[in-house]
Amino acid sequence: MIENFSGQFLLRERPSFLARLIGQSIIVPDDAETFADVSFWQAGMDWSRYPHRAAILRVGQNVWKDSEFEYNYSECVRRKIIVGGYWFYDDRVSPQAQADVILSAMAGKKFAMELFVDFERMYGGPFIGLKYVKQLIELIENKIQCKSIGIYTGYYFWLANTANDTAYYPFFAPRPLWLAWYSSAVNVKVPQPWTTWTHWQYGTPTVDWGQPTKEIDANRHNGTKSEFEARYGIVTVPPTTGGNMLKGTLKSTTTSLKVRSGPSTAYPQIDGIYTGDTVYGVLDAATNWMHLSKIVRANGATQTIDGWCSAAYLDLVDAPEAGDIVVTATLKSDGTVVGTWTRK
Span 124-142, pLDDT tens digits:
999 999 999 999 999 999 9
Checking if the pLDDT of 5 tops 80, the result is no
Residues 224 and 274 in one domain: no
Residue type, 260: R
Average pLDDT, the chain: 86
pLDDT digit string, tens, across residues 32-91: 999 999 999 999 999 999 999 999 999 999 999 999 999 999 999 988 899 999 999 999
Average the pLDDT over 281-304 and give the result. 90
Helix count and strand count (H, E) for the chain = 7, 18
Give the pLDDT band (50/70/90) at residue 187. confident
Give me the pLDDT at residue 120, please: 96
Asked whether the beta carbons of 76 and 57 are under 8 A apart, the reply is yes
Residue 255 belongs to some domain of the structure: yes
Q: For position 62, which CATH number holds?
A: 3.20.20.80
Give me the pLDDT at residue 19, please: 41
Give me the pLDDT at residue 9, please: 59
Average the pLDDT over 258-271 and give the result. 85
Give me the pLDDT at residue 322, please: 54
Residues 208 and 266 in one domain: no
Asked whether the beta carbons of 120 and 154 are under 8 A apart, the reply is yes
CA distances from 325 to 15, 294, 340 (A): 54, 19, 9
CA–CA separation, 309 and 291 (whole Å): 7
Asked whether the beta carbons of 161 and 168 are under 8 A apart, the reply is no
Residue 325 belongs to some domain of the structure: no
Give the pLDDT band (50/70/90) at residue 6. low
- Boundary of a domain, candidates 183, 205, 232: 232
Give me the pLDDT at residue 244, please: 73
Among 138-152, 188-202, 219-233, name the most confident range.
138-152
Average the pLDDT over 14-26 and give the result. 47
Range of the domain at 178: 10-232
Higher pLDDT, 9 or 46: 46
What is the C-alpha R_g of the chain? Answer: 23
Average the pLDDT over 144-168 and give the result. 96
Residues 214 and 65 in one domain: yes
Residue 331 belongs to some domain of the structure: no
Residues 51 and 118 in one domain: yes
Residue 327 belongs to some domain of the structure: no
Checking if the pLDDT of 234 tops 90, the result is no
Residues 169 and 205 in one domain: yes
Average the pLDDT over 243-250 and give the result. 85
Residues 83 and 228 in one domain: yes
CB-CB neighbours of 269 under 10 Å: 15
Asked whether the beta carbons of 68 and 50 are under 8 A apart, the reply is no
Give me the pLDDT at residue 267, please: 78
The alpha carbon of 343 is separated from its chain's Cα centroid by a whole number of angstroms, namely 29
Give me the pLDDT at residue 52, please: 93
Give me the pLDDT at residue 321, please: 57
- Boundary of a domain, candidates 183, 201, 232: 232
Residue 5 belongs to some domain of the structure: no
Domain count, the chain: 2
Residues 217 and 291 in one domain: no
Residue 337 belongs to some domain of the structure: no
Give me the pLDDT at residue 334, please: 52
CA–CA separation, 294 and 304 (whole Å): 4
CA–CA separation, 100 and 229 (whole Å): 31
DSSP state of 47: G
Window from 13-27, 102-116, 311-325 with minimum mean pLDDT: 13-27
Residue 335 belongs to some domain of the structure: no
- The order of strands in the sheet holding 269-274 is 269-274, 256-260, 302-310, 289-296, 278-284, 245-250, 314-318
Residues 161 and 303 in one domain: no
Give the pLDDT band (50/70/90) at residue 28. confident
Asked whether the beta carbons of 230 and 246 are under 8 A apart, the reply is no
C-alpha atoms less than 13 angstroms from C-alpha of 81 in its C-beta half-sphere: 28
CA–CA separation, 119 and 129 (whole Å): 10
Residues 63 and 195 in one domain: yes
Bridge partners of 61? 64, 88
Q: For position 269, which CATH number holds?
A: 2.30.30.40
Residues 96 and 174 in one domain: yes
Residues 133 and 167 in one domain: yes
pTM of the complete model: 0.67
Average the pLDDT over 306-319 and give the result. 91
Residue 338 belongs to some domain of the structure: no
Residues 259 and 301 in one domain: yes
